[in-house]
Structure 1
Amino acid sequence: MAMQCAILDDYQGVALTCADWSGLAPSIEPVVFSDTISGDALVDRLQPFEVIVAMRERTPFDAALLARLPNLRLLVTTGMRNASIDMEAAKAQGVTVCGTASLGHPTPELTWGLLLALARRIPQEDAALRAGGWQTTLGMDLKGKTLGLIGFGRVAQAMARYGIAFEMEVLAFSRSLTDEAAAAKGVRRANGLPALLAEADVVSLHVPLNDSTRHMINAAALATMKPAAYLLNTSRAGVVDTDALAAALNSGQIAGAGVDVHDPEPLNGTSPLLTAPNTVLTPHLGYVSQDNYAGFYTEAVANIRGWLDGAPLRVLA
């Protein structure tokens, strides 16, 4: 009898077409779920499964949930990092956790799209044109402006390259960044976060969420920014105090924001950003691309095949 494999949070209904699952038959029968649930309903759904494929951090697997899934033997996460999985609890329970590769370009491409949409007022002009209007706004030129990057990992470094291509000055802040390392990438190191916020015309966030970054963009930080500046967040929602950001947008304290990450996800309609002006909001699309999904699911299939053969791949726990 085949083991059933739960494929979670497949909102677009593409998991079974992005990769060839036939090679797992007859050992594995994939079962796809297109919604995100939690609590007892999630436990009831997942209890029968020995294998689960999770999409990024959409469904948290903390110690409490894992303890209620006694049949679980293999948990595959897309990407090689997943802060919503308690790796120690999984290991203690005898659950193998495997990851997949993740492409570096989809998130910065989406982030740059948010910037262009904000700077050239694309959503407003699209809506006005459809309503019979014509040229209702003035866009902001990017050439000659300063792009401020908070964090300087691979996504931020891609953003730096885009900024340089658009003839922007690029300023970066990271606790580990040196003047020499910044110069090697063609950017200037900011002398602290307040200095970057005060100078940048566009502030883009590229840091993980932890105790030191939670709400690093709060009311005080937003007050430091230029009134004509834009904020971009494609990292994690908790890096920004959402209520403070909405207040800054409503008061005109900053010019606008492009936001791809939210709390909760999916949004339940209560976020104050939904009614704040001068925003471009996307539903956590940074990693959602054809090539990235093909890689996610192809390597998930390979992980399951390796586990079945007694040689699991890309083991995280």
Structure 2
Amino acid sequence: MRILIPDAQFLDDAEIERAAAGAGVTFEVHRATRETEVPEESWRACDAVICYHVIQYRGPWLDWLERCKVIVRAGVGFDNIDVDMAAARGIPVCNVPDYGTTDVADHAIAMMMTLTRGVASYDEHLRADPVGGWRFEKPPLVRRMRGLTFGVVGLGRIGTAAALRARAFGMDVLFYDPALPTGTELSFGFQRTNSLADLMSRSDIVSLHCPLTGTTRGMINAEALAAAKPGQILVNTARGAVVDLDALHAALKDGKLGGAALDVLPVEPAEPDHPLIRAWAAREPWIAGRLLLSPHAAFYSPSSIVDLRRKSAETAIAALAGAPINRVNDARVKA
């Protein structure tokens, strides 16, 4: 069996993947940024593809996958893959939804706490002036966590993990997830809301944990932010395009939103000329202590990378054995 990794995000020769797959499996590793940088014969000869986020897996070149029995997205999100087009060609698409669950949930809570306890602001003020910056009231968003309401958009694996962490701080938990079966909330004691506007109007913190789909793209827009509870903090560790960055800029600038913590952006790396990014980078007074950024790193820890690579290989092998797991389309395995 031949497994192709076109856009590998590691430096070794698939050592973890080879160990997970066992004997009889050949790995071909590339670090391409476009599908055309991988030889056509490699696409045609592979039995499985393990892909990352760099290449867009869509278009007629999918016809080259004439032997391929599965595409495994090494990650949770699969918006860079045309899953319907793959299904039409009889190729299941599978993801790896559980490799970084705790890491992303931890990161979301860490970003929330950094703002609500003023950690980064204190450090910045003291670095600038160790004596004059010795003032507890400097950060603008410090508040007591107990009794606040933590709103979750998307109560899947990561959303649930984040919600459980928030509840450990004594916060009340609301969630909005129209895809979740009725009654799920009873298992955790969380409160369901039936609309995004309702969740936005009642939550002190809103943490996004939804996939990027046609429905969720730009979901946090001017209308959604207009419904936000005054002083609300928005945390996004999901997908950048879920949030309309122009609308977020306006909501922060006019004071409707208290703050935001973004691990993901609609364009990555950040666009330096976007008004919000420009104001943040220039440390303009109105945004000081109210915007926190990290470089799409919520998933990352050395342990999570090992899990991701191992589970990706195991998922490919399972599909090649005729039992695909974590399938995100309804294609049948090729005979």
| TM-score bracket, shorter-length normalisation | 0.7 to 0.9
Q: CA deviation at 1:232?
A: 1.0
The question of 1:49 aligning with 2:45 is answered no
Taking a change above 3 Å as real, the CA distance of residues 72 and 110 of structure 1, as seen in their structure-2 partners, is: farther
Q: Which runs of 5 or more residues in structure 2 are unaligned?
A: 281-286
What CA distance in whole angstroms lies between the structure 2 residues aligned with 1:305 and 1:191?
A: 40
- Paired residue for 1:189? 192
Secondary structure of the corresponding residue to residue 112 of structure 1: helix
Q: Give CA-to-partner distance per residue, 1:157-177, whole Å, 9 cap, x none.
A: 222211211011112223356
Q: Please tell me whether the aligned partners of residues 78 and 102 of structure 1 are also in contact (alpha carbons under 8 angstroms).
A: no
Instruction: Pick closer, same or farther for the CA change 1:124–1:185 going to 2, 3 Å.
Output: same
TM-score normalised by L of structure 1: 0.79
Which position in structure 2 is the counterpart of 1:299?
Answer: 311
Q: Which moved more, 1:212-221 or 1:42-51?
A: 42-51
2:267 corresponding residue in structure 1 = 264
Cα distance per residue 1:154-206 (max 9 Å; x no partner): 22222221121101111222335688543441222335322221221111122
The total of aligned residue pairs comes to 306
TM-score (norm 2): 0.76
Contact 2:201 2:229 in 1 (8 A): yes
Residue 166 (structure 1) aligned to one of 149, 155, 169? 169
- 2:18 is equivalent to residue 6 of structure 1: no
- Pair 1:78-2:74 in alignment: yes
Matches within 5 A, 1:208-287: 208-275=211-278, 276=280, 277=287, 278-287=290-299
Offset of 1:97 from its aligned partner? 4.7
**Is the contact between residue 177 and residue 189 of structure 1 (CA under 8 Å) also seen in structure 2?**
no
Q: Tell me which amino acid in the other structure corresponds to 2:26.
A: I
Q: Quick one: which of 98, 102, 106 aligns to 1:105?
A: 102
Say whether the 8 Å CA contact 2:208–2:237 is kept in structure 1. yes
- Aligned to 1:298, the other structure's residue is in SS state helix
1:66 to 62, 66, 81: 62
**Partner of 1:49: helix, strand, or coil?**
helix
Contact kept, 8 Å, 1:49 with 1:72, in 2: the verdict is: no
Tell me what 2:148 maps to: 145
Q: Which has the higher contact order (CA 8 A, sep 6+)?
A: 2
CA shift for structure 1 position 311: 2.5
Structure 1 position 5, deviation (Å): 3.5
Q: After alignment, is 142-151 or 98-107 more displaced?
A: 98-107
Deviates more, 1:123-132 or 1:248-257: 123-132
Equivalent residue, structure 2, for 1:119: 116
Question: Does the CA-based 8 Å contact 1:58-1:265 persist in structure 2?
Answer: no
- Cα 1:178–1:64 change in 2 (3 A) is closer
- Mark the runs of 5 or more structure 1 residues left unpaired by the alignment: none
Q: What is the RMSD computed on CA atoms of the aligned residues? A: 3.4
Identity %: 27
